[in-house]
Amino acid sequence: MPPVTRKILIVEDDNSTAAYLAKGLAEAGYAVESCGDGRDGLFLASEGIFDLIIADRMLPGLNGLAMLGAIRAAGVSTPTLVLSALGTVDDRIDGLNAGADDYLVKPFSFAELTARIDAIFRRVDRNAAEGQTTRLSVGDLEIDLLARTVARQGKAIMLGAREFNLLEYLARHAGQVVTRTMMLEKIWNYHFDPGSNVVDVHIGRLRRKLEEGFPAPILHTVRGAGYRLSVEP
> What CATH number corresponds to the domain at position 75?
3.40.50.2300
pLDDT at 87: 86
Which pLDDT does position 4 carry in this prediction?
Answer: 46
> pLDDT > 70: what percent of the chain?
94
pLDDT tens by residue, 178-195: 998 889 888 887 766 666
Tell me the whole-structure pTM to 2 decimals.
0.57
Structural domain includes residue 2: no
Q: Are residues 16 and 118 in the same domain?
A: yes
Same-domain pairing of 139 and 117 = no
DSSP at 29: T
102 and 29 housed in the same domain: yes
Question: Are 12 and 125 within one domain?
Answer: yes
Is there a single domain that holds both residue 156 and residue 204?
yes
Mean pLDDT to the nearest integer, 59-84: 90
Q: What is the secondary structure of 36-69 as a DSSP string?
A: S-HHHHHHHHTT---SEEEEESS-SSS-HHHHHH
50 lies in the same domain as 11: yes
Query: In this structure, are 45 and 155 located in the same domain?
Result: no
SS3 category, 111: helix
- Mean pLDDT in residue range 74-95: 89
Residue range of the domain that includes 182: 135-229
Residue-wise pLDDT for 97-137, tens only, equals 888 999 999 999 999 999 999 999 988 887 777 666 788 99
Q: Is residue 145 part of a domain?
A: yes
